A and B are shown apart, each in its own frame.
Chain A
Amino acid sequence: MFLIREFELACGENYGKGFIRGFLHLYIGQEATGVGAISALGDNDYIVSAYRDHGHALARGVDVNRAMAELFGRATGLSKGKGGSMHLFDAAKGFMGGHAIVGAQLPLAAGLALAQQYQKTDGITMCFFGDGSTNQGVYHETLNLAAVWKLPILFLLENNGYGMGSAIERVRAGGSDFYPGLATYGIPAVEVDGMDVLAVKEATELAVRNIRAGGGPQFIEAKTFRFVGHSIADGQRYRGRQEVEEWEERDPVVTFPEILIKMGLASEAQIDKIKAETTAVVENAVKFAEESPNPDPSEIFTDVLA
């Protein structure tokens, strides 16, 4: 979680410096959800994400240097600088993207799960998506398809309360709670506190066990919050400062270390050491990205077709 927070802060800073361009959606505030959920997966599992994908990629163990280099558009990036912030990929680690059309990643994830089912591996696919994507038709199509075919897929809804600037209550009939309304597709669903990394991990482990046991798709709704704007360009005029501050009091990057110290599982010195190490890793990644070459123009024409 420290790593993700530091990475995202560095992204914001380097956007300001002009090293990172395009759209940039930061994961600040939602770290506990990604880290808790992905820590419950094995090597044979796939992860599919949306455009707010840095946190998921890092939680999966994607190379920090190459991730930052991708954001800088450099040749050493995960996708050689052809993907950018919204399209991070590391297929070798089962991290199958970063997808930037809202909701479009859902059927792709179902297809990966279908491949796992067809090949009779014990792998599952974890698909992250936000509350905003649930009003896309493809969300409903995919849940239905996954339920009908009993696909080994975990739908992980990160409900941060806002689709860009639209509060979910303003755009969704049925209000801001999702999990009770899923009965129509017959997919077992639970709600979890997305600010509590251990709660997310526990709920995910249970869901993953059920899927591996042949129970078909499962659904977790993580209630979470982004402390920053939708993207770097967002002035957040649609919500009050007080709401943000209330959530910030539950900042997992602060509260989780406090719990560890209180329980005697870690000392303040140990936490500080991890923090310092993380800061160094991210500083190094920025340095790596900055020093990396831009892609050769010949790269324009590669990877179009297999």
Chain B
Amino acid sequence: MPEIVYREAIKRGLEEALESDPRVFMMGEDIGEYGGAYAVTAGFLKKFGPERIKDTPISEQAFMGAGIGAAAGGLRPIIELMSISFSLVAFDQIVNMAANLRYMSGGQISVPMVIRAPTGAGVQLGATHSHSFETWLAEVPGMKVVCPSNSYDALGLIRTAIKDDNPVFFAEPALLYGVKGEVPDEYYEIELGKARIARAGSDITLVSYGYGMKLVEAAADGLSLVGVSAEVIDLRSLNPLDMDAVVASVQKTHRIVVVDSARRTGGIMAEVAAEVQQRAAEWLDGPVMRVGSVDVPWPYSHGLEQKVLTDADDVLAAVAEGYGL
């Protein structure tokens, strides 16, 4: 099967949508002339023209709101935030407008839009540029939140996200843009809200998403060397959250470690842990173990940042602590 990097997978999905649906257009900071801060939209301006590839002023509230208005007016905008960290500046528009409009209007207005944003730490951008707010946004009713971990899922999910009639927040781990993965030439889509069993196993369930999948897959490799068979689950979607897949796995393995490369406290894995406890406590042989990055602002210095960012060793330590494996 052909391999393409994560960035190319998303780019392919965007291009297909721009080619096939005239209502689809893009807005964002430096997505046109510059080609996108992470080069996802390189060449788009030339191919699709300035009416459909719109460079915006550095005004996150204004262009986020304009995207929501354009969606309410019958278009299907794709908004690129240069970083998920900048979503904070537009949070009012995302939460109060995009997610609420349909409910507040009693179903009269829909907001079919995709908000794309690179997410996560690990490239020494310091405390203001290393956030993972997909875990905050997952709490907001009225919108969907996805975060693919590989090229195949990125293409399959961006296709369905653009076709969805709701606001979809599409978080792209910045550390994955250059990572290769297999993507077939044949067309496929991936339903939003469905987790993926990345690896079947019988002894312990490891759950993560996005960049965290690198850690749990490495940990699963390590466990297999000592004869422990780990089942690895990629949530892919944080809202809707596919708890059925997680619970079914726990019923099989009786052990679980939940892993987030974002900060440990208060994130989506706290939600997963609580749901597992409530729905599958009697199946568990030990505590639901939670692994995440250290609860401090992200430091700049490489050595410090790597110590704060959780890794596969932390996952193995949790497996040992919780279950003695």
Chain A residues near B57 (CB, 8 Å)? 141, 144-145, 148
Stretch of A18-26, A31-39, A77-85 lying at the B interface: A77-85
B20 at the interface (CB under 8 A from A): no
Of residues 31 through 75 on chain A, the ones whose CB sits less than 8 Å from some CB of chain B are: 46
A305 to B193, CA, bound (A): 13
Contact A89 B105 (CB under 8 A): yes
Contact A97 B62 (CB under 8 A): no
Chain B residues near A91 (CB, 8 Å)? 105, 108-109
Of residues 115 through 144 on chain A, the ones whose CB sits less than 8 Å from some CB of chain B are: 115-116, 118-119, 137-138, 141-142, 144
B25 at the interface (CB under 8 A from A): yes
For B48-88 the 0/1 string (1 means CB < 8 A from A) is: 00010010110101111111111111110100000000000
A90 at the interface (CB under 8 A from B): yes
Tell me the count of chain A residues lying within 8 A, CB to CB, of chain B. Answer: 44
Cross-chain contact of A302 among B66, B71, B107 (Cβ < 8 A)? B107
Contact A77 B165 (CB under 8 A): no
Q: Counting chain B CB atoms within 10 Å of each CB, which of A83, A90, A137, A306 scores highest?
A: A306
User: What residue in chain A is nearest B103 (Cβ atoms)?
Assistant: A303
A107 to B141, CA, bound (A): 22
B166 at the interface (CB under 8 A from A): yes
Chain B residues near A112 (CB, 8 Å)? 69-70, 72-73
A114 to B72, CA, bound (A): 11
Chain B residues near A141 (CB, 8 Å)? 57, 59, 61-62
B97 at the interface (CB under 8 A from A): yes
Give A292 Cβ to nearest chain B Cβ, in Å.
14
Contact B104 A145 (CB under 8 A): no
Contact A118 B93 (CB under 8 A): no
A97 to B141, CA, bound (A): 20
Chain A residues near B59 (CB, 8 Å)? 141-142, 144-145
Chain A residues near B301 (CB, 8 Å)? none
For B138-161 the 0/1 string (1 means CB < 8 A from A) is: 000110100000000000000000
Cross-chain contact of A104 among B66, B67, B97 (Cβ < 8 A)? B97
Contact B108 A79 (CB under 8 A): yes
User: What residue in chain A is nearest B142 (Cβ atoms)?
Assistant: A304
Contact B62 A108 (CB under 8 A): no
A194 to B93, CA, bound (A): 30
Asked if A145 meets B74 with Cβ closer than 8 Å, knowing A77-B106, A302-B107, A304-B102, the reply is no
Contact B108 A104 (CB under 8 A): no
A91 to B106, CA, bound (A): 10
Give B110 Cβ to nearest chain A Cβ, in Å.
5
Contact B65 A107 (CB under 8 A): yes
Cross-chain contact of B65 among A78, A80, A87, A104 (Cβ < 8 A)? A104
Chain B residues near A148 (CB, 8 Å)? 57
Contact B105 A111 (CB under 8 A): no
Chain A residues near B67 (CB, 8 Å)? 111
For B237-280 the 0/1 string (1 means CB < 8 A from A) is: 00000000000000000000000000000000000000000000
A113 at the interface (CB under 8 A from B): yes
Contact B165 A306 (CB under 8 A): yes
Cross-chain contact of A97 among B51, B77, B104, B165 (Cβ < 8 A)? B104
Contact B106 A79 (CB under 8 A): yes
B92 at the interface (CB under 8 A from A): yes
B112 at the interface (CB under 8 A from A): yes
Contact B65 A106 (CB under 8 A): yes
Chain B residues near A104 (CB, 8 Å)? 65, 92-93, 96-97
A96 at the interface (CB under 8 A from B): yes
Contact B96 A101 (CB under 8 A): yes
User: What residue in chain A is nearest B69 (Cβ atoms)?
Assistant: A111
Give B69 Cβ to nearest chain A Cβ, in Å.
2
Across chains A and B, which 4 residue pairs bring their CB atoms closest together, nearest first? A111-B69, A107-B65, A115-B73, A79-B106
Q: List 7 A-B contacts (CB under 8 A).
A: A97-B101, A101-B96, A110-B66, A115-B70, A138-B62, A138-B65, A303-B102
